[in-house]
Structure 1
């Protein structure tokens, strides 16, 4: 469903740009396609007054440039057209597994770069597309549980859980509902997840957007996870104030010069996942693969 909506949106963008180009000149048509970059710029500029300490103009400039590319890659290519380009990977004899959970208004195509690299390493993974797109985050718990159980069946143990944005809240909602059924708590990595809610959720549509509002009752009542790495950036134009991306008692990792979508492309986040897999005792499974895997997604 989400992929279909994004395909429709992309085709509408192209149709409007083509009409503007035909009516007023093709330079204006190209400029129409670039309007999203202008909107993004406004989101970054306001962070100078929202976050304390404020990110520098240089950091915001680097983050904006990278975010234009990252958002176009996600919303114009991978999510609308390549959602199933990388199938779930459950190879026989897999020793380690990763569950990848996307964020608001996204789908599993968000993780295509990571899935390709994990497949090359021989690591099992499952990446669900959470539906309904604008439904309650609580409703995603069952699909996450199915993914966790599939990976447990394939590897014999709890997978490492990685989540971007809203996905981190979906994991906490899952643990609140299904945690009692698991003997071992998971190792969790969240990338720009609004653990304390976010100001920007007031601009979103749907039940899940309302749940993510800054310090909403729903957010404040979520279960805590005990073994968590939280990646955050002072240049996050979606999750702000910036400290809302840090869960209490977690290991916080600051990444400068990247925006919200760009966190998934950061070497720091990928390296943390590799460390989590090594900590699970699977050096043999990863030997010879992580060094040869390209650094960029």
Structure 2
């Protein structure tokens, strides 16, 4: 389902472009080509709008300002990644790289949890890197695409149980964007929560048994302004100070912050203000001048996560 709607979107766009070309070419070749170009550039228009919203938003004084040149570089990198990931990798290469789950290997594995409108193919550069280092890895595809974040929890839970059964160890769990919220919702579902101020020690113990460490990348822990216009269930949950986010935070143990690294950017075109991607008390790390998808493939970030899995 996740890849199918992306395939349908791309193929439908191509059919529309060809139909327009056939209809307009006899009358005006220039207009025909302009229409095709406009259709093919829809992802670029969308990302441009996101960056314009970022630029127009009140500046987050907690992070360094972004210059125009850096903003343009991030925009260009994000446009290229959009065509590569949403135009090819996710629709047509979803299972090109399988999971690496060798049984009986006592090494800490890694679970990769994608974000909004993505699937497991998002993580292919990570999968190659982890495989080269001999680190067990599972990349999940969250379903339903536009459902509640809580509805995605069973997919992650099944992957964690599978990895722990294979390695005998709790994995490092890495989430990009909405994937980080799925991780938090999953921890809550497995009992790593505090009720009415009681059970902090038990929740912390449960947390350590479930995940060796949690890493989030561009996750709207405190919501994002871009979600204010969303009409999907999971989009509404990511609004600033949404009831869902407030309820999630209310029952989380203090130990979660100590077990979490949160990467965020001052040039995130989907999660802003930038500090909304931080978690109070966690190891919050700034990636300078990188866009929302771009920062997920920052070499320093990736190698840091690999080292954490190797040391766990």
- The question of a shared fold, defined as TM-score above 0.5 by the shorter chain, is answered with yes
Alignment of 1:35 with 2:42, yes or no, is: yes
8 A contact 1:21–1:30 mirrored in 2: no
> Deviations for 1:205-251, whole angstroms, at most 9, x for unmatched residues?
42111111111111122136231111111211111111110011111
2:144 aligned to which of 132, 145, 148: 132
8 A contact 2:222–2:240 mirrored in 1: yes
Aligned to 2:43, what secondary structure does the other structure show? helix
Alignment of 1:7 with 2:15, yes or no, is: no
Residue correspondence of structure 1 range 1-297 to structure 2 within 5 A: 1-22=1-22, 23=24, 24-26=31-33, 28-50=35-57, 51-53=59-61, 54-94=65-105, 95-180=107-192, 184=209, 186=211, 187-222=213-248, 223=252, 225-226=256-257, 227-280=259-312
Separation in structure 2 between the aligned mates of residue 169 and residue 43 of structure 1, nearest angstrom: 21
Structure 2 stretches of 5 or more lacking a match? 25-30, 193-205
8 A contact 1:83–1:108 mirrored in 2: yes
> Deviations for 1:62-102, whole angstroms, at most 9, x for unmatched residues?
11000001111111111111111111111234312000001
Aligned-residue CA RMSD (Å) = 1.8
Aligned to 1:188, what secondary structure does the other structure show? strand
Separation in structure 1 between the aligned mates of residue 113 and residue 286 of structure 2, nearest angstrom: 21
Runs of 4+ in 1 over 6 A off after TM superposition: none
Task: Report the more deviating stretch, 238-247 or 216-225.
Answer: 216-225
TM value normalised by structure 1: 0.88
Deviation at 1:28, TM superposition (A): 4.2
Separation in structure 2 between the aligned mates of residue 93 and residue 27 of structure 1, nearest angstrom: 58
8 A contact 2:115–2:179 mirrored in 1: yes
> Deviations for 1:11-41, whole angstroms, at most 9, x for unmatched residues?
1222233234342333542343113212312
Task: Provide the aligned length of Structure 1 versus Structure 2.
Answer: 280
Separation in structure 1 between the aligned mates of residue 125 and residue 14 of structure 2, nearest angstrom: 25
TM value normalised by structure 2: 0.84
Aligned pair in 2 of structure 1 residues 161, 57: CA closer, same or farther (>3 Å)?
Answer: same
Structure 1 stretches of 5 or more lacking a match? 281-297
